[in-house]
Amino acid sequence: MKAKMKISSNNILNGRSSNNRASNDRPEIDVKSEFKRNKKIGSGFIKFIMLPVLIFLFLILSVSCELFKDSEEKTEVIPDTEVEFEIKEGMSLKEIAALLEEKGIIDNAFLFRLFVEQKGMEKSLKPGNYRMRTKSSYEDVLNEITTGPPVVTYKFTIPEGFTVNQVIERIAEKVPFIEYEELKRAIDIKNYNYEFLEGAPSLEGFLFPKTYEITIDYTAKDVIEMLLAQYQFETGSLDYSFASEKGLSQYDILKIASLIEREAYVPEERALISAVIHNRLDAGMPLGIDATLCYFLNKWDGELTESDLETDTEYNTRLYAGLPPTPICNPGLASIEAALNPADVDYLYFVITDSEKHTHKFSTTLEEHEKNRSEAK
């Protein structure tokens, strides 16, 4: 009985001993270290998730601030109104966007900058002078300023019958980048070497009347050169044989054409007035055309006084026979052609009979002329 009890006791002891060994073979778990490790993983995961969220929120806040700031500063813009502006060399995208918003072309500089950057075009914006319409789309504006400015042209019209001084006044008025003083220097005839200018004391008569279009790179001399080149082009193919037969030079024809231009308001009367001038020259009679004296006195408005009519100058064609020293204006092609092709009539006189239509009556004798004058009154 004692022996069994002993075995039993040994078995119990052995069992305990076996359990202890199994327990000793397992790795021990450090609860505190495991907790710390899990805490670090959780913290990193939170940072990984939160950082983009914070950045996103920051961007939203920035955009909101910009939009709020812009909305406070905006003034009312009338849509579809053309405005001019200049992108200067070296301007940044931010400066360009601000300029576009200031001009009313875009509605928000900040959003436009984001649009341009998203397109990757911020380095492709070209300097220059532009014309755009207010309230344009971002796409249209970006296309314009990446393509480059269009060629800006300036138009001006020189009417038939303008004098040289009137011509340069008109150019200075219509072309903002050319000064009147520059034009005064440019009309010096010594600046030009055209064959048709030989013997002429000035450019009067040679600045051809027409509508011209120029770009910003033109100088005053370039503009005058263009008018002279146009004269050469327009008159280069004319037949001057009639003038040669009568002993008249091309410059004489230009003088006659300038008289026709100042006297003829109705196209059909050009050839008739030309005939009167040629007939009087052939007869050695003074032309008696007061427009020549108006030119000399620079008195185109109002009646000439008795004192004016006594002015001793070769431009006074009441006192001096023959043509004036120079043309008295810049005639158009129709008047030059009329000077070369007078009507086949023997008229020596003409007088205006309708002041509204500026039509004339023509006559051969002084008696007829006086009669027409009395009827005109």
Looking at the domain assignment, is residue 159 inside a domain?
Answer: yes
Residue from 345, 354, 357 nearest 372 by CA: 354
Rounded to 5 degrees, φ, ψ at 191 are -75, -10
Looking at the domain assignment, is residue 13 inside a domain?
Answer: no
> pLDDT (tens digit, 9 = 90+) per residue, 228-243?
999 999 999 999 999 9
Handedness of CA 118, 122, 123, 124 (dihedral sign): positive
Look up residue 90 and give its amino acid. G
pLDDT band at 195; cut points 50, 70, 90: very high
Looking at the domain assignment, is residue 267 inside a domain?
Answer: yes
Rounded to 5 degrees, φ, ψ at 214 are -130, 165
- Evaluate if residue 317 carries a pLDDT over 80: yes
Distance in angstroms (rounded) separating the CA atoms of residues 267 and 360: 12
335 and 257 within one domain: yes
Rounded to 5 degrees, φ, ψ at 130 are -125, 155
- Evaluate if residue 305 carries a pLDDT over 80: yes
pLDDT at residue 24 in the model: 47
Query: Which position has the token pair 């003038």?
Result: 243
Looking at the domain assignment, is residue 118 inside a domain?
Answer: yes
For the segment 142-149, the average pLDDT, to the nearest whole number, is 95
pLDDT at residue 249 in the model: 97
261 and 352 within one domain: yes
Number of domains in the chain: 3
The residues, ordered by sequence, that sit 6+ positions from 150 with a Cβ below 8 Å of its Cβ are: 130, 131
- Evaluate if residue 21 carries a pLDDT over 50: no
pLDDT at residue 17 in the model: 43
191 and 93 within one domain: no
Which tokens go with 247?
Answer: 């002993």
Lowest mean pLDDT, pick from 134-138, 211-215, 354-358: 354-358
pLDDT band at 375; cut points 50, 70, 90: confident
354 SS3 class: strand
Q: Which of 204, 235, 266 is the last residue of a domain?
A: 235
319 and 265 within one domain: yes
360 SS3 class: strand
pLDDT at residue 83 in the model: 95
262 and 219 within one domain: no
pLDDT at residue 126 in the model: 96
Residue 155: strand pairing partners:
213
Looking at the domain assignment, is residue 53 inside a domain?
Answer: no
pLDDT at residue 18 in the model: 43
Instruction: List the CATH number of the domain containing 102.
Output: 3.30.1490.480
Looking at the domain assignment, is residue 337 inside a domain?
Answer: yes
pLDDT band at 11; cut points 50, 70, 90: very low
Domain of residue 292: give its range. 241-376
Looking at the domain assignment, is residue 40 inside a domain?
Answer: no
366 and 265 within one domain: yes
Distance in angstroms (rounded) separating the CA atoms of residues 210 and 351: 29
Looking at the domain assignment, is residue 335 inside a domain?
Answer: yes
Distance in angstroms (rounded) separating the CA atoms of residues 183 and 167: 10
Q: Which of 188, 205, 235 is the last residue of a domain?
A: 235
338 and 216 within one domain: no
Q: Which of 99, 122, 147 is the last residue of a domain?
A: 147
360 and 277 within one domain: yes
pLDDT band at 3; cut points 50, 70, 90: very low
pLDDT band at 77; cut points 50, 70, 90: confident
Do 276 and 347 meet the contact criterion of CB atoms below 8 Å apart?
yes
pLDDT band at 150; cut points 50, 70, 90: confident
322 and 272 within one domain: yes
> pLDDT (tens digit, 9 = 90+) per residue, 334-348?
999 999 999 999 999
Provide the total of helices (H) and of strands (E) in the chain, helices listed first: 15, 6
Stated pTM of the model:
0.69
106 and 229 within one domain: no
The share of the chain scoring above pLDDT 90, in percent, equals: 73
> pLDDT (tens digit, 9 = 90+) per residue, 24-50?
444 555 555 554 555 555 555 555 566
Do 83 and 124 meet the contact criterion of CB atoms below 8 Å apart?
no
246 and 370 within one domain: yes
The residues, ordered by sequence, that sit 6+ positions from 163 with a Cβ below 8 Å of its Cβ are: 204, 295, 328, 329, 330
Kindly report the average pLDDT of the chain as a whole number. Answer: 86
253 and 228 within one domain: no
> pLDDT (tens digit, 9 = 90+) per residue, 245-268?
999 999 999 999 999 999 999 999
pLDDT at residue 30 in the model: 56
Query: Which position has the token pair 């003034």?
Result: 75
The residues, ordered by sequence, that sit 6+ positions from 223 with a Cβ below 8 Å of its Cβ are: 171, 175, 178, 183, 186, 212, 214
Distance in angstroms (rounded) separating the CA atoms of residues 233 and 8: 139
258 sits in the region (left: phi over 0; alpha: psi -120 to 50; else beta) called alpha
- Evaluate if residue 12 carries a pLDDT over 50: no
